[in-house]
Amino acid sequence: MADAKESYDDVSVYPVGDELRDRLFAVQTECAVVWSTTDGWPVGVMHRYVWHDDRFWVTTMPQRKRVPALRKRPKSTVIVSGENAAPDWRDFTVTAKTMATVHDDDQAVKAWFYPALADRMNPGHPERAAAFRDRVDSPGRVIIELEPVKWITYDGAKVAAHVLGRWSPDEDWEDPRL
């Protein structure tokens, strides 16, 4: 294995691999959705999400400021942290630069999204999932599709392994979390 690096200023050499990213999306239910205001300020809120067809999907009511903002300025960001996803996953994040599409009354999207979100939020509890689905499928509610166009990731476990001489950016690494 290569010698431990002396400077850790460039953390781009510690990316999260696609397999770990997809496993994170399967277990983590919360993400930050970030958009810009008319005066250019970035603003974000936490959302429960579904990862489906290589896109993030969230829902909210149309009067929330993010809805008109994302309609006007669809360039956005989604951030998912490994924190609380699994005991040894806390030191990594996945950020996606995204393009947002707001779906107003798309019955085809509602038909798969509401049950998927309800099941995700109530695993193993079909009665609770059905009640959640009925609550969230309310008049006027919108579904926001966030399509990744660029990934920015950081894996702190690779940093720790690199410090110990167990990982190098030039070599394959068998991730112990997988």
Q: What is the CATH number of the domain that holds 138?
A: 2.30.110.10
How many domains are contained in the chain?
A: 1
| Residues linked to residue 59 through DSSP beta bridges, in sequence order | 143
Does residue 6 belong to any structural domain of this protein? no
How high is the mean pLDDT of the chain?
Answer: 89
Does residue 178 belong to any structural domain of this protein? no
pTM: predicted TM-score of the whole model, two decimal places: 0.90
**Does 172 reside within a domain?**
no
**Mean pLDDT on 119-133:** 95
pLDDT of residue 1: 44
pLDDT of residue 7: 66
Domain assignment present for residue 132? The answer is yes
Which of 13-27, 59-73, 106-120 has the weakest average pLDDT?
13-27
Task: Find the domain containing 19 and state its range.
Answer: 11-163
